[in-house]
Amino acid sequence: MNLPPPPPPLGLLAELTHRCPLRCPYCSNPVELSRASAELDAETWGRVFREAAALGVLQLHLSGGEPAARRDLPEIVAHAARAGLYSNLITSGVLLDTARLKALAAAGLDHVQLSVQDAEEGSADRIGGLRGGHVRKLAFAEAVQAADLPLTLNAVVHRQNLDRLPALIDLALHLGAGRLEVAHVQYYGWALRNRDALLPSRAQLEAATETVTAAREALRGRLVIDYVVPDYYARRPKACMGGWGRSFIAVSPAGRALPCHAAESLPGFDFPNVRDASLAEIWAHSEAFQRYRGTSWMPEPCRACDHRERDWGGCRCQAFALTGDAANTDPACALSPHHHLLDLAVRDAAIAGADFTYREMPRIPSEA
């Protein structure tokens, strides 16, 4: 295919490292993690940021793993500021203290997005797999307030914490967050291994949706609430990442450029590396970005569907995780021949236990 390039990407997700002190059972990083020795250095990230700005990117999301596992994080943030990118640090907060946060703010950091596993300490530490983690997160949130940086709270929700959604909303208000992301787990990668322990019931989902609807109205002007629902109760798929290769570009710790952060889970791809090609070249011409871009690749019933340029075929990673073929219609669509797989998953989860298979991350160096 030689498709015309889409408009410039809206954002760049820079995955600085796969190292992380948490062991979240819903981790979205690939099963095979990049080692620290393979990570791009700060100077290379600076070049990537300049190329992103020239391409038209405005927003930069610094993620991981845990980006604060990198001692050169202030240098990386400074590169982003010099490139003119709005930088958002996506962090667990447990490796950051007031001094490190001040250094990041001085380097030009614009925004902090803090993840929490629950509103209740015992449950939060159990889910994250780190004793004392929740208390450290709360202390870090106070430091963000003191530094006068905008704060978004990200709450990944599932069967084992969804009933405390009202408390999570209260926590966002208490911590001074301007935005709360209520993000249901998406089931691919490591999360797929724990689906039976994480997938909420329909009753939980409906109650959560009612809670979010009421809170949005009651807290209008005080707290913005984003709500990402699970696909397992859907009849139409979401436009994952705004469509494959249409809105976002992600770069892995080792430099692989991806249409979405989870795309490394898909076999049969040779994702280009920013060490070998510019972002502009990758975005416009790489086969990996063009493979599922647009609509010409779509099978039926997608190709003839009136929604094809709204959902762009849904999630390729989910299609692969559930059917074994990334080119299949996303099973979240009621018209998919594989839609019944979602019903089977919901049935299995209803009778499953609550035990997790934790993700064991690479060891964080003591000086990080």
pLDDT tens by residue, 171-227: 999 999 999 999 999 998 889 999 999 999 999 999 999 999 999 999 999 999 999
Instruction: Provide the pLDDT confidence category of residue 366 given band limits of 50, 70 and 90.
Output: very low
Percent of the chain having pLDDT more than 70?
96
Instruction: Provide the pLDDT confidence category of residue 353 given band limits of 50, 70 and 90.
Output: confident
This prediction's pTM: 0.93
| Assigned domain for 338 exists | yes
Instruction: Provide the pLDDT confidence category of residue 5 given band limits of 50, 70 and 90.
Output: low
Please tell me the distance from the alpha carbon of residue 148 to that of residue 135, in angstroms, as a whole number. 20
Looking at residue 234, its amino acid is A
Cα torsion for 349, 356, 36, 103, to the nearest 10°? 100
Residue-wise pLDDT for 110-147, tens only, equals: 999 999 999 999 999 999 999 999 999 999 999 999 99
| Assigned domain for 48 exists | yes
| Assigned domain for 188 exists | yes
Q: Domain of residue 162: give its range.
A: 8-367
Please tell me the distance from the alpha carbon of residue 366 to that of residue 289, in angstroms, as a whole number. 38
The CA distances from residue 17 to 73, 108, 294, in Å, are: 11, 20, 31
> What CATH code is carried by the domain that includes residue 85?
3.20.20.70
| Assigned domain for 3 exists | no
Output Rg (C-alpha) for the chain, integer angstroms.
20
Mean pLDDT score of the chain: 93
Residue 354 has pLDDT above 90, yes or no: no
Binding site membership: which residues? 20, 24, 27
Q: Tell me if 368 sits within 8 A of 70, measured CB to CB.
A: yes
Residue-wise pLDDT for 243-270, tens only, equals: 999 999 999 999 999 999 999 889 999 9
- φ, ψ for residue 258 (rounded to 5)? -135, 145
Binding site membership for [4Fe-4S] cluster: which residues? 20, 24, 27
| Assigned domain for 1 exists | no
Residue 3 has pLDDT above 70, yes or no: no
| Assigned domain for 174 exists | yes
User: Domains in the chain: how many in total?
Assistant: 1
Please tell me the distance from the alpha carbon of residue 338 to that of residue 68, in angstroms, as a whole number. 41
Please tell me the distance from the alpha carbon of residue 71 to that of residue 80, in angstroms, as a whole number. 16
| Assigned domain for 274 exists | yes
**Does the CA dihedral 182-33-331-310 come out positive or negative?**
positive
| Assigned domain for 249 exists | yes
